[in-house]
């Protein structure tokens, strides 16, 4: 089939489709609402695109992989490296492991009104983490590192809940965070993990 024949075939198909669409009776009011809903979708897609391009909005995980079976041997998530760590520039990173049925470490102290970077990994199955009153809500997929940056505006006790069904003990899977006033918080004396990623 040469290109002209192909072109005329598709033109005919396009004309037929247009005719069929025009033959459908759509009430003028309905037509208006279709236009409005399409405009709303277009507006939302535009906002998301602009946000993604200019504000660097990404899904929480940057597709960083890790071997869940050897977390205890992995330098970054070895037991002694878990919890709150402060690097030379004062950036605070919190490394936590989710496993049936708890978050480890069980308890951490963090300062209020400070940018905190949480790095989560799962040692077994799919878990989720949710801290009410914050933007912390992410899946913890085995084999991947989930990174979320958040700030606690006020001191207080915050629960950490698992929000992905992970087994019979799922409803007991929770820990808590003590958020301490910025001036009262003391940074833990730990050597920062070098971030040995696999």
Residues in the chain: 198
Residue 143 Cβ, how far from Cu ion at the closest point, in Å?
A: 17
Contact 158, 175 (CB under 8 A): no
Give least dist CB 198 to Cu ion, A: 25
Interface residue list for Cu ion (CB under 5 A): 162, 166, 170, 173
Residue with tokens 């409005």: 36
Q: Closest approach of Cβ 175 to Cu ion, in Å?
A: 12
Residue placing its CB nearer to Cu ion in the complex, 109 or 124: 124
As a whole number of angstroms, the distance between CA 125 and CA 141 comes to 7
Q: Cβ 138 to Cu ion, closest distance in Å?
A: 13
The answer for 72, left when phi > 0, alpha when psi is -120 to 50, beta otherwise, is alpha
DSSP letter at 192?
P
Q: Which is nearer to Cu ion, 86 or 101 (CB)?
A: 101
Residue 82 or 173 having the CB closest to Cu ion: 173
Nearer to Cu ion, 108 or 166 (CB): 166
């Amino acid at each position: 089939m040469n290109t002209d024949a192909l072109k005329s075939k598709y033109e005919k198909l396009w004309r037929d489709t247009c005719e069929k669409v025009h033959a459908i009776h759509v009430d003028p009011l309905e037509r208006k609402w279709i236009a409005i809903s399409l405009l709303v979708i277009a507006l939302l897609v535009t906002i998301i695109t602009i946000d993604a391009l200019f504000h660097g909005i990404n899904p929480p995980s940057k597709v960083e992989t890790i071997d869940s079976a050897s977390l205890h041997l992995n330098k970054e998530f070895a037991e002694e490296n878990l919890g709150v760590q402060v690097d030379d520039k004062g950036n605070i990173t919190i490394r936590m492991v989710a496993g049936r049925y708890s978050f480890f470490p069980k308890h951490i102290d963090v300062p209020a009104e400070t940018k905190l970077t949480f790095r989560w990994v799962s040692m077994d199955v799919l878990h989720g983490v949710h801290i009410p009153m914050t933007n912390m809500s992410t899946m913890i997929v085995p084999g991947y590192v989930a990174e979320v940056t958040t700030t606690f505006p006020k001191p207080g006790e915050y629960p950490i809940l698992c929000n992905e069904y992970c087994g019979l003990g799922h409803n007991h899977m929770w820990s808590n965070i003590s958020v301490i006033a910025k001036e009262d918080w003391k940074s833990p004396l730990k050597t920062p993990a070098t971030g040995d990623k696999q």
